[in-house]
Structure 1
């Protein structure tokens, strides 16, 4: 697998760009289908969160892969390629593995060490599987990333040092409002982030808790899962009126536009002027709460932009160093395992060819010496097989060891060349014939942006991706 990652996050793009690039509705599924339908991409997965949009792909051509994925991100996000390119980062092969393992451990999160990213990676893999764009390569990668993230949280204190965005945001609000225990709260939305927010509020000891969602059944399911007597559901249309009765609002919907306007809030905020402000925690991307609320007296808005500017409580340097070490070790082990797996079909094909030669020669022996007794014939057969096994043992063991090292893929090619192995037979053993991959991975009817279009656009916009010594690749202003 030649792994390529093209994406943007809170580290490379301002919130305004992330907000405009946010993929909502059917856009994530369409992007995945289009990516998997390109000639360069064999598998594709999308990590799409409030502060991260990343395409992971198994590609057969690096430059064409970067160009196609960049254009697809631009096409589906609606952000012009020229602007988007300056915020993109590109990682390839081992550096791409290092990146996803770091993401899984929370090292690349807005709040270092937060554990919610594990659920988001799990959701990304599930979506790719549902769209039939993830095969064995990306499945193994994401499953291993999840294991690495769990290992980091179990073996270090990174989970205690880090916080979720919900907890961090509530901490920022509490600096102005004081303890949120006993407050009357409203959660708008019923997705994974909203569920986390509701559970966090319950643990914090809020008073009455209201849940509103466009689909009322999902809100009712969330209340049932919370299992507390002080939680209730209100209709989505009642949210503006409910603002008069609550002290705190957390909003995280998948809406494409503003859900709570400054006009909705103005009267409720004005009534609190001089008192503890009506607090809003907006975790949606694009934003749910009108940015103009920042200017309203009697209201306090904490959103992703203000969170990115706030100073999070830094985890201990020892924990970060420990997790960094875990990631480095796991990347090395994963790379070695992948390279060893790549040569395994060649070794199997070599042994299969040797077995055929042995059987052929024993057949000739039986024809030439038909009078040999069964005991002698069996002994000759075992002797020939032992000789072949001993001759093949050292080179096959050694080639596996060499192939597991960086740059070891060439040893499989050398083995095939030396023994004149049939490449088609090797591919059949590995189960990665191009036709089979196309049948299993490509989705019919996808709205594909052609490679010719990609090349023209890239030439016009001058993406100009180049490799750096450490394997990280940058285009335009990417890092």
Structure 2
């Protein structure tokens, strides 16, 4: 079973999301992994989600408990702040997330890269499974198809660009603005591009990790060290923060002695800016919660087309996954047939070509019908048919502690004979 537990801006307030995002995926995944077959954790600025493959019905409770424990949130406080989706619905949700359909800003492009990195991180941790791999790969393929086939990507705006649009009403001329940027990651690079599109040329970067000079050289901007941070901050017109720091990188002390208006844009979650900074005279603070309130309405036509593509991709993923449900039976049938074939070839080597051709033709119809039955959710009937006709029990071994369902009678899909399973 595929399972997704999701807490996002649609289900939880930003203060709860901030706590959930603080531990990071690298701290949440290890708490979940021992109890499931595989897990991929997606952590972004407005969501934390765990996708798992499991055979245990109570895995959702394990995930919820791991999230709340890692974030230090009381279980009662976390109750109702998440959604749980299984199998096809979990895949459909991931595909929609990857396409930007579940973002604060519909169609924002950064999420696609974050989905890919979540899978890469899980690979490094050794927590993926073949089904999780396929689901995340299909999510990326769907995101790219939607981007190429609809106007969603063109209509969607990133958080960075939306934040700058919300700043427009307070600025007369972007070309005169002096900007101090905190962070050297993906959002920092997107911020530089968005600022330059508006004519900003005076950009300086600060990095608490010491990457400021390297990043500045790469993008042709200045950099400042910790010793000069306060002076650079108070001389700026705009501060933009987008770091992964668990602690605020801008505090009231950072802007101490401010002598002119300062606009502070906080794109971090957890918050990069201490909320008390907004109380400093001359400071205007724009954070993710404010951006969410001002996020534009969805572009209905583009969104409808994108959601239709998501549903279609999720349905195809589910069909393929169901068809694989009978794979052990198909493999067992082929092994049985090829075992008999090799015996006959050993006795009549001169007829090898004709025998292989005959067995191939005999296997074609049962193999095709088995896949069709599995796609209809009738894999159990395939296993029963193989056992009835050939005496081969290919059913997967049940996990320890699983209760064997009561036997029922099913019709063999090949002969119509009744078998018990």
Give the shorter-chain TM-score range. Answer: 0.7 to 0.9
Q: Indicate the residue corresponding to 1:353 in structure 2.
A: 336
1:221-236 equivalence runs, <5 A: 221-226=214-219, 228=220, 231-236=221-226
Q: Indicate the residue corresponding to 2:412 in structure 1.
A: none
1:219-368 equivalence runs, <5 A: 219-226=212-219, 228=220, 231-268=221-258, 271-272=259-260, 277-312=261-296, 314-360=297-343, 366=347
- Say whether the 8 Å CA contact 2:383–2:394 is kept in structure 1: no
- Once residues 79 and 187 of structure 1 are traced to their aligned partners in structure 2, the CA distance between those partners, rounded to angstroms, is 31
Post-superposition shift, 1:306?
Answer: 0.6
Q: 1:178 to 1:347 in 2, by over 3 A?
A: farther
Residues 375-429 of structure 1: CA distance to partner in whole angstroms, max 9, x if unpaired?
A: xx734x6665555444432222122123223x244344334433333438x78xx
Post-superposition shift, 1:96?
Answer: 0.1
- Once residues 41 and 380 of structure 2 are traced to their aligned partners in structure 1, the CA distance between those partners, rounded to angstroms, is 31
1:138-287 equivalence runs, <5 A: 138-216=132-210, 218-226=211-219, 228=220, 231-268=221-258, 271-272=259-260, 277-287=261-271
- Say whether the 8 Å CA contact 2:370–2:379 is kept in structure 1: no
- Once residues 51 and 237 of structure 1 are traced to their aligned partners in structure 2, the CA distance between those partners, rounded to angstroms, is 32
Post-superposition shift, 1:338?
Answer: 1.8
Q: Which has the higher contact order (CA 8 A, sep 6+)?
A: 1
Q: TM-score, normalised by structure 1?
A: 0.78
- Once residues 68 and 89 of structure 1 are traced to their aligned partners in structure 2, the CA distance between those partners, rounded to angstroms, is 14
Q: Secondary structure at the match of 2:234?
A: coil
Q: Secondary structure at the match of 1:13?
A: coil
Q: 1:327 to 1:220 in 2, by over 3 A?
A: same
- Say whether the 8 Å CA contact 1:190–1:222 is kept in structure 2: yes
Q: 1:235 to 1:412 in 2, by over 3 A?
A: farther
Q: Indicate the residue corresponding to 1:75 in structure 2.
A: 69
Q: Secondary structure at the match of 2:64?
A: helix
Q: Indicate the residue corresponding to 1:48 in structure 2.
A: 43
- Once residues 204 and 355 of structure 1 are traced to their aligned partners in structure 2, the CA distance between those partners, rounded to angstroms, is 68
Q: 1:434 to 1:378 in 2, by over 3 A?
A: farther
Q: Indicate the residue corresponding to 1:403 in structure 2.
A: 374
Q: Secondary structure at the match of 1:222?
A: helix
Q: 1:204 to 1:410 in 2, by over 3 A?
A: farther
- Say whether the 8 Å CA contact 1:195–1:222 is kept in structure 2: no
Q: Secondary structure at the match of 1:267?
A: coil
- Once residues 216 and 254 of structure 2 are traced to their aligned partners in structure 1, the CA distance between those partners, rounded to angstroms, is 25
Q: Indicate the residue corresponding to 2:417 in structure 1.
A: none
Q: 1:35 to 1:415 in 2, by over 3 A?
A: farther
Q: Indicate the residue corresponding to 1:465 in structure 2.
A: none
- Once residues 411 and 236 of structure 1 are traced to their aligned partners in structure 2, the CA distance between those partners, rounded to angstroms, is 68
Post-superposition shift, 1:354?
Answer: 1.1
Q: Secondary structure at the match of 2:216?
A: helix
- Once residues 221 and 346 of structure 1 are traced to their aligned partners in structure 2, the CA distance between those partners, rounded to angstroms, is 57
Q: Secondary structure at the match of 2:268?
A: coil
- Once residues 217 and 129 of structure 2 are traced to their aligned partners in structure 1, the CA distance between those partners, rounded to angstroms, is 36
Residues 231-270 of structure 1: CA distance to partner in whole angstroms, max 9, x if unpaired?
A: 11111343222122111111122222222113432531xx
- Once residues 391 and 228 of structure 2 are traced to their aligned partners in structure 1, the CA distance between those partners, rounded to angstroms, is 74
- Say whether the 8 Å CA contact 1:152–1:323 is kept in structure 2: yes
- Once residues 244 and 54 of structure 2 are traced to their aligned partners in structure 1, the CA distance between those partners, rounded to angstroms, is 31
Post-superposition shift, 1:179?
Answer: 4.4
- Once residues 361 and 166 of structure 1 are traced to their aligned partners in structure 2, the CA distance between those partners, rounded to angstroms, is 70
- Say whether the 8 Å CA contact 1:346–1:415 is kept in structure 2: no
Q: 1:59 to 1:169 in 2, by over 3 A?
A: same
Residues 3-24 of structure 1: CA distance to partner in whole angstroms, max 9, x if unpaired?
A: 1111201111111111122234
